[in-house]
Amino acid sequence: MEGNPQRILISGENARYLTTILRCRCGHTLEIFDGKGHSISATIVSLSKKEVVAEVTGVSPANTESPLNLVLIQGVLKGEKMDFVIQKTTELGIREIIPAITERSQLKETKKTARWQKIAQDAARQCGRSSVPSLHEPLLFHDLFSAYAPCSASAERREGLLFWEEGGMALRDLRAKLGECVSMIVAVGPEGGFTEGEARLAESRGFTIASLGKRTLRSETAAISATAIIQFLFGDLGQGH
């Protein structure tokens, strides 16, 4: 998306989406999110399959983001499973996604970061988010804690949860323990989950070990379920407009 303060030029896939999927025409009004927290109202003045030109009629702060600053550490998954997690957690309001290489990760390296960022961008556009989640380069699990450990000494207290199928605190008890929380890091393992050593390492760095219940969930199911429940408990899921 390009343009000056008065007009916006939309090209490439976004133009094709507007003309062939949404079947927009001249005179139609668009609500455009700039990925930086603003909503731009614009009216289409010309269009083709390759580009759409819209005239800006107003700019205002967008209010589609969760008040919870939620970061997902996701053990790297094979194939489309990782794509699915990125897409769905973006829809649920994740702010950052950090792919982690763990002891049980079947993939030890990947060059899919640009692809994953594109998936996050498309998912953010589809669900009307005003910001696109940050997609980080994969990191070794043991190297994560210098930058992504929970903390309480700063102005914004940050809690950490690591989901482990071997047991931990039930999510229904989290609200009572954590109270009002505005920043949280959630860690979900790859296929096979985290090892006990990884769980204990995270615990020693301030993470709370948590459980999603008695049944063993697939990693992608666990990531999406945990994100949804946490957004319900501490964010804006279920609150309506």
Total-model pTM: 0.79
**Is 77 a residue whose pLDDT tops 90?**
yes
Is the predicted pLDDT of residue 165 greater than 70, yes or no? yes
Q: Which of 198, 199, 191 is nearest to 216 (CA)?
A: 191
Compute the distance between CA of residue 30 and CA of residue 44 in angstroms, rounded to an integer: 7
In the chain, ranges of CATH 3.40.1280.10 domains: 69-234
- CATH superfamily for 2-61 is Hypothetical PUA domain-like; domain 1 (2.40.240.20)
**228: CB partners within 8 A, 6+ apart:** 92, 237
The mean per-residue pLDDT over the stretch 216-239 comes to 92
Q: How high does pLDDT run on average in the chain? A: 87
Q: What is the pLDDT of residues 22-43, one digit of tens each?
A: 888 898 888 777 666 677 888 9
Rg for the chain (alpha carbons), in Å?
20
Structure-model confidence comparison of residues 111 and 4, the more confident one: 111
Question: Which pLDDT belongs to residue 3?
Answer: 45
Pick the CATH number of 69-234 from 3.40.50.720, 3.40.1280.10, 3.40.50.300, 1.50.10.10: 3.40.1280.10
Where does CATH 2.40.240.20 sit in the chain? 2-61
Q: From residue 210, how far is each of 89, 136, 171 by CA, in Å?
A: 18, 24, 7
49, burial (CB in 10 Å: exposed 0-12, middle 13-18, buried 19+)? exposed
pLDDT of res. 1: 47
- The pLDDT tens digits for 81-130 are 999 999 999 999 999 999 999 999 988 888 899 999 999 999 998 888 88
